[in-house]
């Protein structure tokens, strides 16, 4: 069947002229194609049995945490290794921030991409970002799973042995010498900690990625070296050769486009996202409330859709782009069943801590993914953690997005008790309320039948957010917290 690469899956950094492909981007994760460190990431919806796991906190607290990583049914050892990797880093972050109460809104964020996927191997690239008062820093880790040997592996396990690692370190060091004074090649050691992110480009070259500050005294963005396939093949283990072949499989990845070009192409002849049942309720007369669910789709979203269908209730889903790319079929089901799909950014970063270009990137990457799934253009966005400012509103407005927050916080991130979640949702509801919940939390989905039953008994009708505003509609760039607020 036809295949397509998901949004943001081309390259991350600017082109380089040096022979081994040393590159340094001024902005990490910039959507600028490059050779030879370009990596064509695999569409996660291709992988049977792949879902996502989310760890989060922060809508009601000072610390901002959002972690997403994949789980694969037939690779439980991979899932467990990913879980250990992110939780160990998160535990360290929590310890560090607990000892430094002066830092306002420290942030920990993890997103992922598939570096390769075949019937023999899987490769998951994690980007781990942290801000603890001294600026933002990114680190990269790639975890591999050998389906033939049923083993989860570190990146250096792609190499034959310690001597292969030493040889690779020398090749990379020589390449970094050509990079100039901004990079310190002598910081490189034949140490697994320096080579924990190894992936392959479509030509079979080995791409070695370094963390911020790992080979420089200041942040240069993503620094990477591409070692030619002919040089690296003698160094590879059996798993490494399988991973190389998986990355070299022919694809029909489209030619790269700028963010503006791709958004223009994506929105051409696409209608704005709207509930298929919009107009069936007049909220000027009916007692309306909008249930909203953030951060999904996740493992429990399908069950939530079943519950909503049984009660003939509809909701607004603010989806995270990286999760949406793994479950486009759930987004299509939301649209078909009268719900509304909206934008919750690509990787759930605090937008108020980003420059305008990165705010736009977070929104447009998610926007492209949602459009591809549902064939409609979202008109709503919810800022992660509810954190917004004039710049966020301005960027959202230019992208045709209204900013939606909430008037009722069920605090479902903090309290795993379904009864308590339901009690808060029901006791705080009032006509025109926008109720915040998260479909990535199982207890929240467990609470849904009780919330629906009790609110319906009180005479409430469940509508999508725009229906609260009736004929007045919602304006791009304006902020909405409830039916009584619009700016």
* Residues labelled as active-site residues: 294, 438
- The DSSP letter of residue 471 is G
Are the beta carbons of 275 and 464 closer than 8 angstroms? yes
Give bridge partners of residue 68 from the DSSP assignment: 54
Helix (H) or strand (E) holding 223: strand 223-227
> CA dist 221 to 213, 294, 320, Å?
9, 29, 23
Look at residue 337 and give its three-state secondary structure: coil
- 289 near 432, Cβ under 8 Å? yes
SS3 call for 401: coil
Query: For 323-401, where are the E strands, in sequence order?
Result: 340-343, 380-381
Using CB atoms within 10 Å of the CB of residue 389, give its burial: 0 to 12 exposed, 13 to 18 middle, 19+ buried: exposed
Q: How many residues are present in the chain?
A: 487
End-to-end distance of the chain based on CA atoms, in angstroms?
46
Beta strands per DSSP E along 103-222: 107-117, 121-131, 136-146, 151-153, 198-200, 206-210
Q: Which residue has the tokens 């059996």?
A: 238
Which of these, 135, 137, 138, 112, lies nearest to 125 by C-alpha position? 112
Copy the structure tokens of residue 440. Answer: 């990535």
CA 346 to chain centre: 5
Distance CA 309, CA 277 (A): 13
292 token code pair? 């909203």
Q: Which two tokens stand for residue 350?
A: 């605090």
Q: Which residues pair with 198 in a beta bridge?
A: 208
Interatomic CA distance for residues 176 and 171, integer angstroms: 9
Q: Is 48 exposed, middle or buried (0-12, 13-18, 19+ CB in 10 A)?
A: exposed
Structure tokens that stand for 280 in this block: 């069936």
Q: Please state, in angstroms and rounded to a whole number, the distance separating the CA atoms of residues 172 and 344.
A: 38
Q: Which DSSP helix (H) or strand (E) runs through 367?
A: helix 356-374
Dihedral of the alpha carbons of 478, 483, 484, 487, in degrees to the nearest 10: -10
- Whether the CB-CB separation of 156 and 192 falls below 8 Å is answered with yes
Q: How far, in Å, CA of 137 to CA of 38, rounded?
A: 21
């Amino acid at each position: 069947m036809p295949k397509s690469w998901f949004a943001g899956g081309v390259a991350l950094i600017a082109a380089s002229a040096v022979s081994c492909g040393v590159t340094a981007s001024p902005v990490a994760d910039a959507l600028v194609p490059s050779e030879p460190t370009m990596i064509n990431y695999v569409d996660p919806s291709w992988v049977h049995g792949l879902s996502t796991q989310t760890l989060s906190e922060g809508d009601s607290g000072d610390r901002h945490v959002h972690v997403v990583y994949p789980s694969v049914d037939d690779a439980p050892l991979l899932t467990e290794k990913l879980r250990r990797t992110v939780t160990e880093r998160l535990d360290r972050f929590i310890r560090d921030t607990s000892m430094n109460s002066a830092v306002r809104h420290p942030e920990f964020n993890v997103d992922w991409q598939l570096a390769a996927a075949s019937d023999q191997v899987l490769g998951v690239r994690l980007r781990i970002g942290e801000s603890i008062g001294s600026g933002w820093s990114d680190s990269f880790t790639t975890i591999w799973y050998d389906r033939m040997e049923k083993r989860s592996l570190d990146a250096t396990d792609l190499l034959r042995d310690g001597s292969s690692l030493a040889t690779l370190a020398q090749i990379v060091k020589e390449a970094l010498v050509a990079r100039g004074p901004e990079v310190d090649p002598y910081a490189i050691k034949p140490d697994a900690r320096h080579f924990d992110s190894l992936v392959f480009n479509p030509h079979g070259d080995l791409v070695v990625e370094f963390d911020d500050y790992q080979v420089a005294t200041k942040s240069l963005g993503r620094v990477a070296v591409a070692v030619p396939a002919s040089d690296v093949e003698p160094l590879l283990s059996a798993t490494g050769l399988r991973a190389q072949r998986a990355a070299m499989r022919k694809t029909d990845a489209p030619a790269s486009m700028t963010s503006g070009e791709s958004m223009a192409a994506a929105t051409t002849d696409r209608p704005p996202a709207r509930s298929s049942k919009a107009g069936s309720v007049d909220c000027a007369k009916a007692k309306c409330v909008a249930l909203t669910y953030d951060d999904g789709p996740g493992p429990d979203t399908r069950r939530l859709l079943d519950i909503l269908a049984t009660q003939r209730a509809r909701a607004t889903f603010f989806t995270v782009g990286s999760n949406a790319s793994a479950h486009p079929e759930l987004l299509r089901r939301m649209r078909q069943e009268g719900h509304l799909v909206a934008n919750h950014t690509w990787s759930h970063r605090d937008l108020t801590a980003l420059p305008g270009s990165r705010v736009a990137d977070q929104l447009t990457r998610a926007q492209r993914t949602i459009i591809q799934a549902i064939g409609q253009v979202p008109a709503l966005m919810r800022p992660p953690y509810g954190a917004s400012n004039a710049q966020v509103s301005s960027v959202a407005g230019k992208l045709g997005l209204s900013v939606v927050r909430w008037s009722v916080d069920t605090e479902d991130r903090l309290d795993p008790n379904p009864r308590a979640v339901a009690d808060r949702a029901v006791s705080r509801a009032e006509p025109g309320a926008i109720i915040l919940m998260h479909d990535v939390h199982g207890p929240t989905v467990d609470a849904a039948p009780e919330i629906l039953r009790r609110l319906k008994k009180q005479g409430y009708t469940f509508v999508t957010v725009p229906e609260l505003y009736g004929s007045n509609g919602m304006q791009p760039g304006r902020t909405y917290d409830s039916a009584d607020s619009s700016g």
